[in-house]
Structure 1
């Protein structure tokens, strides 16, 4: 079996972070979310991996390399434009050949990995196996409708009137039968080749399609709220440890201090992680916070946030529920005149207390 990881896409819901960084490389607990998926694939016993990349291909390739760090053999597949998940399967046709494969969306996060589902698929080998989970707003996802016997009846991508609350998780398992389905597809109303339409084609043509409703944790990390929630979950499961320096400070609970980090005259309440080479002084770092490598935090408070590498935060009263990008500088505004001075990128969102 091979794996196909989708790491293209523009990450519009994470702008402005994704104007300069691939959304799959935004870190969760100081590790790119993509890496969690690659580790899950390797743990499932899969070695051959194709990664579909787009405009951010150079960044993805620099981060993943040849895959040997993960125990994988990586081949990169260029997708000129993000024309749908089924289009990714289409351009990967030659690479996949006649092998079964698991398709994994590179910005998805699944607790517990995929080893069990891959084993189930290999044992029964349906033409397609999909993973489903119950969600509060199914109109934002591909949605599956199951019959009384649990069989897949219909799938629809982002329906205006969902027939169920069962959303498709971003992991699919296929035999080569899916290539016949993909070849028959026409673009949807969104102008994309939808993988839901390909699975529906298999259902309509009497092919065996099975589903598994998962009860574990799954998130599509496509927006800031979900990124922060996944960060919280991962931090809660970390093993605490101090490999850096800590002086005149208090560490409470599950705290990781990476090599080269320095904490001075500060209080850190876990779960939290302080990245390699970071310097925290005269500050408070609250629960569910990830401070990236080589960051600087002084005379400030921060909680339930993700700070990307080399950012600097100085003299700021309190920050919470925030995603702060690479090389950002956060400083207090002058006291007079009372005003907010902003330098914001395209598609930014700002909340100001007046």
Structure 2
């Protein structure tokens, strides 16, 4: 990937991450441990690798957590600034809210919950070559009916922004990454909610402005749900998703410092075992994320699940597709399946069986 020069990066990280509760009760979604580091670390590594060094974070929920962890960004070779929304402004309003902190003529805007392998330098080059007002990263997906679709003309110009439909005319969707001319950002109304999908982008088309589409089919995943979060973390660990921030070699598992995994335990499928976490004899952990201090007892099975900090899974318990909040306890012999979520501090008694439920 060639280097980007003369561009800022803006990452929008103000959302509350309600789809990922109870994990996001204690931390913003972009700060959740993902393949051993906060999810945002993987995004920042891509930005730095592309040669962009000035980054503005648009924050709101638990804003102080970001600055406490990343500081001024110098440890990462970045210059990070923070802009806090006092009230929700939606994507367009959040972009406008950071305008006074931009330094370059072009700004690459990222939604803070997208894991992507798109070539950022090629994206910016396409924007500049086409002399576009805004360029959208458009991702080809197998099932575009789950998203709004974005058709383009032969020259790459975006022609429409379409809502979800059973039979979309294209497999191209808005991938949550944009390049804006700074002058276009300054045209967005300030101090109120603005949707880029429903107001900014359609408005530009109506006024005859050049909205360009950069289309590719690289790795892409919205990690906003527990299922996708687990998959994204596993893809990072196994090397399917690109990142320079992985704190260890890619492989079937990532075991952080201070974690203990019994010799006969199976930890596979891109699982992460956080610092101080323990996986006991005979346990099987597959495609899962264990936050710091989590424990899996003897003979337990944990598949495609997330265990919050200090959560405990009892002997011979079975968890498949489950989220445990911080310090939640699942008793011995329990069976939790299909999207069950256990809130922080909750203790389930031995042999409780629950399906697709919250506790």
TM interval, short-chain normalised:
0.7 to 0.9
For residues 233 and 46 of structure 2, the distance between their equivalents in structure 1, rounded to whole angstroms, comes to 17
Deviation at 1:75, TM superposition (A): 0.9
Partner of 1:248: none
The alignment status of 1:351 with 2:349, answered yes or no, reads: no
CA change 1:157–1:178 in 2 (3 A) is farther
The answer to whether the Cα contact below 8 Å between 2:59 and 2:84 also exists between their aligned partners in 1 is yes
Deviation at 1:215, TM superposition (A): 0.7
For residues 54 and 42 of structure 1, the distance between their equivalents in structure 2, rounded to whole angstroms, comes to 23
For residues 343 and 294 of structure 1, the distance between their equivalents in structure 2, rounded to whole angstroms, comes to 17
The structure 2 residue matched to 1:229, chosen from 228, 231, 234, is: 231
Partner of 2:295: 296
Mean Cα deviation higher: 10-19 or 71-80: 10-19
The answer to whether the Cα contact below 8 Å between 2:141 and 2:217 also exists between their aligned partners in 1 is no
The structure 2 residue matched to 1:114, chosen from 103, 120, 125, is: 120
Instruction: List alignment gaps of at least 5 residues for structure 2.
Output: 1-6, 335-340, 345-353
Deviation at 1:25, TM superposition (A): 1.6
Partner of 1:277: 276
For residues 148 and 253 of structure 2, the distance between their equivalents in structure 1, rounded to whole angstroms, comes to 38
Partner of 2:94: 88
Task: Please give the residue correspondences for 1:77-156 in structure 2 after superposition, counting only pairs within 5 Å.
Answer: 77-96=83-102, 99-112=105-118, 114-135=120-141, 138=144, 141-147=147-153, 149-156=155-162
1:244-271 Cα deviation digits (max 9, x unpaired):
9xxxxxxxx7333222222225322423
CA change 1:343–1:70 in 2 (3 A) is closer
For residues 212 and 74 of structure 1, the distance between their equivalents in structure 2, rounded to whole angstroms, comes to 26
Indicate the SS of the match to 1:174.
strand
Partner of 2:322: 322
The alignment status of 1:260 with 2:258, answered yes or no, reads: yes
The answer to whether the Cα contact below 8 Å between 2:13 and 2:58 also exists between their aligned partners in 1 is yes
Mean Cα deviation higher: 137-146 or 168-177: 137-146
Deviation at 1:80, TM superposition (A): 1.6
The answer to whether the Cα contact below 8 Å between 2:60 and 2:86 also exists between their aligned partners in 1 is yes
Deviation at 1:181, TM superposition (A): 4.1
The answer to whether the Cα contact below 8 Å between 1:178 and 1:199 also exists between their aligned partners in 2 is no
Deviation at 1:28, TM superposition (A): 2.2
CA change 1:257–1:82 in 2 (3 A) is same
For residues 76 and 108 of structure 2, the distance between their equivalents in structure 1, rounded to whole angstroms, comes to 17
> What is the TM-score of this pair, normalised by structure 1?
0.80
1:2-61 Cα deviation digits (max 9, x unpaired):
111101012121122223321112222222222111111111111111101112102222
Indicate the SS of the match to 1:42.
helix
> What is the TM-score of this pair, normalised by structure 2?
0.79
For residues 342 and 127 of structure 2, the distance between their equivalents in structure 1, rounded to whole angstroms, comes to 51
CA change 1:264–1:303 in 2 (3 A) is same
CA change 1:84–1:343 in 2 (3 A) is closer
Deviation at 1:159, TM superposition (A): 7.1
Partner of 1:331: 331
Mean Cα deviation higher: 169-178 or 206-215: 206-215
CA change 1:186–1:77 in 2 (3 A) is closer
For residues 167 and 333 of structure 1, the distance between their equivalents in structure 2, rounded to whole angstroms, comes to 44
The answer to whether the Cα contact below 8 Å between 2:36 and 2:256 also exists between their aligned partners in 1 is no
For residues 278 and 343 of structure 2, the distance between their equivalents in structure 1, rounded to whole angstroms, comes to 26
The answer to whether the Cα contact below 8 Å between 2:265 and 2:279 also exists between their aligned partners in 1 is no
Deviation at 1:140, TM superposition (A): 5.3
RMSD: 3.1
Partner of 2:40: 34
The answer to whether the Cα contact below 8 Å between 1:27 and 1:308 also exists between their aligned partners in 2 is no
